[in-house]
Structure 1
Amino acid sequence: MSKKHPIVAVTGSSGAGTTTVKNAFNDIFRWENITPAVIEGDSFHAYERADMKEKMAEAEKKGENFSHFGPEANHFAKLEELFKTYGETGTGQRRFYIHSDEEAEQHNARLGIDKKPGQFTPWEDLPESDLLFYEGLHGGVADPEAGVDVAQWTDLLVGVVPAVNLEWIQKISRDTAERGYDASVVTDTILRRMHDYVHYITPQFSRTHINFQRVPLVDTSNPFIARDIPTPDESMVVIHFNAYKDQDWPYLLSMIEGSFMSRPNTLVVPGPKMGFAMELILNPIIHELVGKKSA
């Protein structure tokens, strides 16, 4: 952790909905006039799209586990090194994973390269920034066998953790509607990732400072046949504080209509209030972290 060069990380599984938290942070950065160095979790994958497909096919033939969730497919040590270096010096390097033709066009023009979707841009120095902001799968990952502990370097680590059936519904819906996959293919992906999900994704949420967990209030007992994603109105959000517990609870309860405390360190809010609650809770924390830079 660093007073001079804060590190904020948002971590969550594929389909968890980390974009909502990312948008809340973008609003906070704008209000506080903060310039973040943005790190995308995909950029620390070990393989480009074509190579990853080959590796997965090889692993499947051997009956081995291999997925984007696990250490074999990611540069965990390199991610930890970035966090450590940034916390100490405010510097480091990043790259981008290109998801679309639009992103390829932007990066190719910016860097004078010729990359396509599914490939990485070259590593480049971070721009000047007030803090490091990571959003992806592994912001709080640890791999004891490899001596890796990314979470230890974060000043604010936020977990986005829908109830698991809701997470699967969101992933199946997104991958079939936006990426054109068959539902059975997405289900096979969920099953293939399960070992790494249990060992490298879920343990992160015991290391986070704050978790936001959306819980549906409708039947999601069979996520593999669900026709639609439960709406915010059909959900509640459980906000659990592992750290930063010194909150003004009466203020939060008065500001967020329909909210209540389920435990001394757990606030429950209506689903449509999730973004608002995030901004109320996270803005003062970010303000304090950045304020320490000049203290």
Structure 2
Amino acid sequence: MSIKHPVFAVTGSSGAGTSTVREAMEHIFRRDGFRAATVEGDCFHKFERTEMKRQVQLAEEARRPFSHFGPEANHFDKLEELFRVHGETGGGQRRHYLHNEEEAEPWGQEPGTFTPWEEVPEGCDLLFYEGLHGGVTTEEVDVAKHVDLLVGVVPIINLEWIQKLHRDKLARGYSTEAVMDTILRRMHDYVHYITPQFSRTHINFQRVPTVDTSNPFISRYIPALDESLIVIRFRDPKKINVDFQYLLSMIHDSFMSRRNTLVVPGGKMAFAIEIIMQPLIESMVTTGVVRYR
């Protein structure tokens, strides 16, 4: 935890919708004039694309779990070091994973490779991480303890699979069978390294569709936000002094399902994220204490 150099992490699995939260955070940073050192979780993967495929093949032959979700394929130690060093000094190292030709061209590299490690920009107001492992904890590392504000984004599992199927098939050209194989291969690591993080988050945003998603593997469409509810759970609302009455008055058709849980219409998700997160970010940056109002 840091007063002078706060660390803010958004964690969620592939296809979970963390990009929606990232866009809302960028609006807040721009509106408040905060400068954020942005870090994408992909940069802490251990293997470049070609080598990752080889490692997957070796793991399948050995019948052992192996995926981007687990420790064997990631530098959890380097991620923990970044959060710790940034909290202490405002420094730390990051790199970039180049997903496609558009991202790779300015670097003169091939897609599926990493850029060299570099220092995060100096003089930033906070470090902003978005990726798979912002709250991961193992016997060797404890990334979560270095995070001042940890937010989880986790749709119900069938919706997560639908989003992954559509993204991987349309944007990456994979077959349904290939995506299903990836989901199955990742399941052990998903259960052991992804889902436990959501017990450590300060706030979770969980999207729940109000349409039938019983068989995600035949779904032709991703349920729209207007066909969803967003369940927002605050781990300890007293600690951050959440003003639920204010939120209920600001977000039309919202309601409380439990004493620490707010439910809002899916179409209000971006708005809800901004009005919930803005005072927390402002408090964290200006005072070093995460308080709502």
Alignment of 1:239-250 (within 5 A): 239-245=232-238, 246-250=241-245
After the TM superposition, which segments of 4 or more aligned residues of structure 1 sit over 3 Å from their partners? Answer: none
Aligned position for 1:33: 33
The residue matched to 1:142 in structure 2 has which SS?
Answer: coil
Aligned position for 1:80: 80
Q: Distance in 2 between matches of 1:266 and 1:223?
A: 27
Aligned position for 2:160: 167
Alignment of 1:67-216 (within 5 A): 67-106=67-106, 108=107, 114-128=108-122, 129-144=124-139, 147-216=140-209
Q: Distance in 2 between matches of 1:78 and 1:122?
A: 14
Aligned position for 1:111: none
TM-fit CA distance, 1:16: 0.3
Match for 1:59: what amino acid? A
TM-fit CA distance, 1:243: 3.2
Q: Distance in 1 between matches of 2:117 and 2:245?
A: 47
Aligned position for 1:16: 16
Selected match of 1:280 from 260, 275, 278: 275
Q: What TM-score do you get using the length of structure 1 for normalisation?
A: 0.95
Q: Distance in 2 between matches of 1:257 and 1:184?
A: 41
- CA offsets per residue over residues 217-258 of structure 1, 9 Å max, x none? 011111111111111111000000013542111111111001
Aligned residues: 286
TM-fit CA distance, 1:293: 5.7
Aligned position for 1:252: 247
The residue matched to 2:252 in structure 1 has which SS?
Answer: coil
Q: Distance in 2 between matches of 1:183 and 1:274?
A: 29
RMSD: 1.1
Q: Distance in 1 between matches of 2:247 and 2:287?
A: 24
The residue matched to 2:114 in structure 1 has which SS?
Answer: coil
Cα separation, partners in 2 of 1:156 and 1:290, compared to 1, 3 Å? same
Q: Distance in 2 between matches of 1:263 and 1:88?
A: 37
The percent identity for this pair of structures is 65
Aligned position for 2:57: 57
Q: Distance in 2 between matches of 1:253 and 1:293?
A: 27
Q: Distance in 2 between matches of 1:267 and 1:64?
A: 40
- CA offsets per residue over residues 26-64 of structure 1, 9 Å max, x none? 000001101111110000000000000000011111111
Match for 2:223: what amino acid? P
Q: Distance in 2 between matches of 1:116 and 1:254?
A: 50
Q: Distance in 1 between matches of 2:236 and 2:61?
A: 44
2:237/2:260 contact within 8 Å kept = no
- CA offsets per residue over residues 80-110 of structure 1, 9 Å max, x none? 011000000000111000011111123x1xx
Q: Distance in 1 between matches of 2:59 and 2:146?
A: 32
Q: Distance in 1 between matches of 2:26 and 2:67?
A: 30
Match for 2:116: what amino acid? P
Match for 2:114: what amino acid? F
Return 5+ residue gaps in structure 1 as ranges.
109-113
